[in-house]
Structures are given as structure tokens and as C-alpha cells.
Amino acid sequence: MSEDLDFLFALLLNGVSIGLMYSLIALGFVLVYKATDAINFAQGEFVMLAGLIVAMMLSIEGMPLAVAVAVTLAVMIGFGFGLERVVLRPLLGRPVVAVIMATIGLAAVLRGLGPVIFGSETRAVSLPIGDEPIVLGPASLPPIQVAGAIVAIVFFLVFSWFFKKSRMGVAMRAVADNQQVAQAMGINVERYFALAWAMAGVVSALGGIVWGSMLGVDVHLALVGLKVFPVVILGGLDSIGGALVGGLIIGIVESLAAGYLDPYVGGGTKDFAPYVLMILVLMIRPYGIFGKRKIERV
């Protein structure tokens, strides 16, 4: 009996840490959607791009980790700004389907050209945290998962503070709430759109470093992005807390499915269960747990 409980505890612990890392990526999606109403189908590819950049920087002999991370952050911020200016701004006011398809196109560009530019082999991102598993009671976790979970928690705290207290965060919420009124109050809406994309770049950079060092960096890193959709649908598209809770739920569901169902169906339930859960949520409560209820019904 206690062995069963230990197994459950290990699965839950694994689910929580993975879930926190999912929420980190989902956060990038939520930030963009909240501020600009644009849907980013390329979030996973952002993460892949950041991973590729950090892996390339680290492969240079004698490169300190801090510099590599700083360069990655800078490049991703620049990428976010540039992307908003070149792709998203011309699409302002166009149907939502056009924006969706543009980000799908963007995902294809990054996934296609990433390996051509950076090389297609799998690279390692080694962080100075060792690989001795950290033992917590009856279960243990690889240190990278713990580090990823801590990074995620820190960033959630930072972003909660940013949106609640800082001047820019309040302005950004105003833009999200009503663009015209925000403009009338003297807020430069376009600047905040660009800022939202840059923030998505920052979050993706961290996601790329954490996920990259866990899975290794190649084009498959972008598949992490497919988990973003169940997370944000579950939590609510425009809720930062929702991204956190959604990530935790998806992480736990995935871990439990892998632990209990895989032996019966021969593997792969990990990629399957979150989507089944998501379909159920879409049918019952499409705005998610914390999302605003303003869903366009037909």
C-alpha cells in the first residue's frame, strides 16, 4: 500500500515541477494574448529559437553562462520587438483567423530555418547545477526540474507585481481592457503591443534555457509549444494565475497518465491526455478556470 502511495507521490512531484515549467512557456502566450488579443501559435518555436541561441553561445569556448543568457535575452527581446513591427502591426484590425495563420506561418519559418542556420544536430545546454537527483521524501527529482520550477515561480511573482503595481503594467492592463479608451488616456498603444511581444521573448528565452538543458536543443524542442494550448485553455487565455494553475493541472495529469495508463496502451498517453482534457474543457467551460467570460458566442 505505502509503495503505491510513494509511487503516486513521485508522480505528483514530477507533475508539479514539469507543470511549473509548462506554465513558464504558457506565460509568454498569455502575456501576448492579454495585451494585444493576438494568438501566438509559434510560442514553442520561440522557445526553440532561444534554446538554439543559448546552445550556440555556450558552444563557444570559455563563454560564461551569464553572458550566454544575457545575449539570449537581448536577442529574444529584439526578436519580439521586430516581429511585432514587421508581422503583427500590418495585421492590426484584420480578422482573428489572419493572425492565427500568420503565427502558424511564423512557426513554420522558425522550425524550417532554425536547423538550417544553427545546424540540425542535438546540442546540450549544461547548467552548473550538477545532475545528482534531489531527494524529497520517497521521491527524487533531477535538479534541472527543480531549477525550472524555481525560475517559473520567481517569474510568476515578478509578473504579478509588474501587472499590479508598476506603471507600465497598469498601462498594459488598460490597453488589454480597451484599446480606444487607453489611447484616449494618453497611452501609446502600439508601444505596449511591442512591449508585450518583447516580454514573450523574455519568457521564451528562459523557457528555452530550462527546457533546452532538460531535453537537449534541436527542432523537437518546439514540440513543447504544443502543450501550451491545453494549459492556457484550462487556465483561461488571459489569466496569468490561470497559466500557473493550468500548467500545474496539465503537468500532474500528464504525469499520472504516463504512470498509470502507459503500461496498458503501450506508451504515449503523456502527449494524448492533456488534449482530451482540453477538449472537455472547451465543451464545458471554454473560457477556462480564470479567464474572463467575454467569449464570442455564435
Partner 1 sequence: MFHRESGVFKTTYRADMALYPLPIAKWTVMALALIFVVIVPLTVHEYYLSILNLIFIAIVGALGLNILVGYTGQISIGHAAFMSVGAYTAANLAVRLDLPFWITLPAGGLMAAAIGVIVGMPSLRIKGLYLAIATLAGQLIIEWTINHVPAISGGAQASIQVDRPSLFGFSFNTQGSLYFFLLFFAVLAIVGTLNLVRSRIGRAFVAVRDQDIAAEIIGIDIYRYKLLAFAISSFYAGVCGVLYTYYFGIANYEQFQLIVSIDYLAMIIIGGLGSVLGSILGAVFVTLLPIVIRILMEDVGALFFTSAEMANVISGLRLGVFGGLIIFFLIVEPEGLNRLWRNIRSYFRVWPFSY
* The one-letter amino acid at 71: V
Residues 82-101 that bind partner 1 (CB under 8 A): 87, 90-91, 94-98, 100-101
The closest of 206, 202, 187 to 80, measured between CA atoms, is: 202
The yes or no reply on residue 162 touching partner 1 (CB under 8 A) is no
Cell digits for 144?
A: 534541472
CA pair distance 193, 200, nearest whole angstrom: 11
Q: Mark the segment that binds partner 1 (CB under 8 A) among 4-12, 106-114, 130-138, 157-165.
A: 106-114
Instruction: Name the residue nearer to partner 1 (CB basis): 116 or 184.
Output: 116
The yes or no reply on residue 189 touching partner 1 (CB under 8 A) is no
Instruction: Name the residue nearer to partner 1 (CB basis): 74 or 91.
Output: 91
Q: Where are the alpha helices (DSSP H) in 128-225?
A: 143-165, 167-177, 179-184, 189-215
CB of 109 to partner 1, least distance (A): 4
Return the residue of 134, 153, 168, 282 that touches partner 1, per CB under 8 A.
282
Q: Rg of the chain's alpha carbons, rounded to an integer?
A: 19
Residues in contact with partner 1, total (CB under 8 A)? 48
CB of 140 to partner 1, least distance (A): 30
Return the residue of 4, 61, 131, 296 that touches partner 1, per CB under 8 A.
296
CA pair distance 275, 267, nearest whole angstrom: 15
* The one-letter amino acid at 184: A
The yes or no reply on residue 39 touching partner 1 (CB under 8 A) is yes
* The one-letter amino acid at 286: P
CA angle 212, 214, 215 (to 5 degrees): 70
Q: From its phi and psi, is residue 93 left (phi > 0), alpha (psi between -120 and 50) or beta?
A: left
Instruction: Name the residue nearer to partner 1 (CB basis): 10 or 200.
Output: 200
Cell digits for 182?
A: 487607453
Return the residue of 25, 106, 174, 256 that touches partner 1, per CB under 8 A.
106
DSSP state, 132? Answer: P
Residues 193-232 that bind partner 1 (CB under 8 A): 226, 229-230
CA pair distance 186, 67, nearest whole angstrom: 37
Q: Mark the segment that binds partner 1 (CB under 8 A) among 141-149, 173-181, 246-254, 271-279.
A: 271-279
Q: What binding mask, one character per residue, do residues 113-152 give for partner 1 by CB under 8 A, x or -?
A: xxxx---x--------------------------------
Instruction: Name the residue nearer to partner 1 (CB basis): 66 or 284.
Output: 284
Mind giving me the DSSP string for 78-117? HHHHHHIIIIIGGGTTS-HHHHHHHHHHHHHHHHHHHHHH
* The one-letter amino acid at 149: A
Instruction: Name the residue nearer to partner 1 (CB basis): 114 or 148.
Output: 114
Chain residues that interact with partner 1, rule: CB under 8 A:
39, 41, 87, 90-91, 94-98, 100-102, 104-116, 120, 226, 229-230, 233, 237, 265-266, 268, 271-272, 275-276, 278-279, 282-283, 286, 295-298
